[in-house]
Structure 1
Amino acid sequence: MATRKRLSPEESRVAALEAARLLLIEDGPQAVTLKAVAAMIGRTHANLLHHFGSAAGLHRDLARYLTATICAKIREAVLASRSGMGSPRNVVDLTFDAFDREGAGALASWMLVTGNRDALDPIVETIHDLVIDLDEFGGERRRDNTLALTLMALGDALLGGPLSRALELPRHAARDRAEQMLRETLEEQG
């Protein structure tokens, strides 16, 4: 008879959040249930209730976990771009991928549809903190770019494929426009 490895409370939470992230990416936000996550990590439903309180709590913590992970990558890309080691396109691709391939767009829309608007707070707070952290001298213009880039990435994740086809544009058109926006801002700040 196999025994389960005893995890610390923090290790158990991280394992659950990583399993929830995988479910989100593979099967969509509706698949992220306490039962499914528990089964994936070999824990009980009660164990996850202890850590998250409810499915809404799991979704809120998943949003916080995803956003913190994604914003850390974006922060690194922005700093690399500023030092000449990266490019605005790296920042654009990471942001668009976060909302599309990493599932943040699907999770955000699911939270809105299910009425779990509080789960969006960690997303907004983490993006705000990232902008403040990186905002050496950009002020309102940099915040405008962050708002536009985030909304473009979210919209692209939700409707980019069908809309670009309907408008007879290449699938990467929104990413190209976002990159152009960032490059123009950099040139202005020159």
Structure 2
Amino acid sequence: MSIARKRLSQEESRDAALEAARALLIEAGPQAVTLKAVAARIGRTHANLLHHFGSAAGLQKALAENIGESVTARVGEAILSARDGDRNPREVVDLTFDAFDKQGAGALASWMILSGNRDALDPILDSIHRLVDMIAADHQHDGEALQRETLHLVLMALGDALLGAPMADALGLPRGTARELATEALLAAPLHPDP
């Protein structure tokens, strides 16, 4: 007995593959994000995924772009709302940390670096750069203060995603301590010039 598969448009098929790749990344880590595993997850063929992404590296780069765009959009919205006084800067910290931890950006970034596939990180780095440029255009800040705070927050979030839980445990600190430190640093940052 054959099972009829729903016919998807190219865009729907690509989106389904990226969603499956993201789920595999979160569930089992970056090494689980293979063309074969993604194809099996969405009921498509390996050849179908090759058509959309060209290679496993192409899938990984598309996944990095997908994560980068969705995360920076949410973080950007939170930053602008926090600056307007509608939200607490802790939300910016939580969104950034969650992106690297719960959404898999930290594991993916580390894997790309360690496997020598640094080009796959370009979409994430480009998204962060566009976000900083957008915020800088709308808000005054001292020199490189915004870029420095972005670097600080992203590196803290990446480090926490990779080593935060065992490090906090080893030091006898609550799991959320790195987020508290990042929030304190963000609140103390000289992002606005003196009047």
Structures share fold, TM-score greater than 0.5: yes
Of all paired residues, the percent bearing the same amino acid is 62
Structure 1 residues 27, 181: closer, same or farther in 2, change over 3 A? same
Task: Give the equivalent residue in structure 1 for 2:157.
Answer: 153
**What secondary structure does 1:115 align onto?**
coil
Q: Which amino acid aligns with 2:118?
A: R
How far off its partner does 1:167 sit? Answer: 2.5
**What secondary structure does 1:78 align onto?**
helix
How far off its partner does 1:168 sit? Answer: 2.6
**Which stretch of structure 1 is more off in the superposition, 107-116 or 3-12?**
3-12
CA distance, structure 1, for counterparts of residue 21 and residue 86 of structure 2: 33
Number of residue-to-residue matches in the alignment:
190
- 1:163 aligned to 2:167? yes
Task: Give the equivalent residue in structure 2 for 1:59.
Answer: 60
How far off its partner does 1:11 sit? Answer: 1.3
Task: Give the equivalent residue in structure 1 for 2:95.
Answer: 94
Structure 2: stretches of 5+ with no match in the other structure: none
Give the TM-score normalised by structure 1. 0.95
The answer as to whether partners of 2:140 and 2:192 remain within 8 angstroms in 1 is: no
- 1:22 aligned to 2:23? yes
Deviating 4+ runs (over 6 angstroms): none
Deviation track 1:149-173 (CA, whole Å, cap 9, x = no partner) reads 0000000101111212222322211
How far off its partner does 1:187 sit? Answer: 8.1
**Which stretch of structure 1 is more off in the superposition, 166-175 or 109-118?**
166-175
How far off its partner does 1:2 sit? Answer: 3.6
Of 170, 174, 178, the match for 1:174:
178
Task: Give the equivalent residue in structure 2 for 1:117.
Answer: 118
Deviation track 1:90-127 (CA, whole Å, cap 9, x = no partner) reads 00000001000110000011111211111111111110
User: Superposition RMSD on alpha carbons, in Å?
Assistant: 1.5
Task: Give the equivalent residue in structure 1 for 2:42.
Answer: 41
CA distance, structure 1, for counterparts of residue 57 and residue 140 of structure 2: 38
**What secondary structure does 2:179 align onto?**
helix
Task: Give the equivalent residue in structure 2 for 1:105.
Answer: 106
Structure 1: stretches of 5+ with no match in the other structure: none
Q: Which amino acid aligns with 1:173?
A: T
The answer as to whether partners of 2:78 and 2:87 remain within 8 angstroms in 1 is: yes
CA distance, structure 2, for counterparts of residue 63 and residue 37 of structure 1: 15
**Which stretch of structure 1 is more off in the superposition, 66-75 or 163-172?**
163-172
**Which stretch of structure 1 is more off in the superposition, 23-32 or 180-189?**
180-189
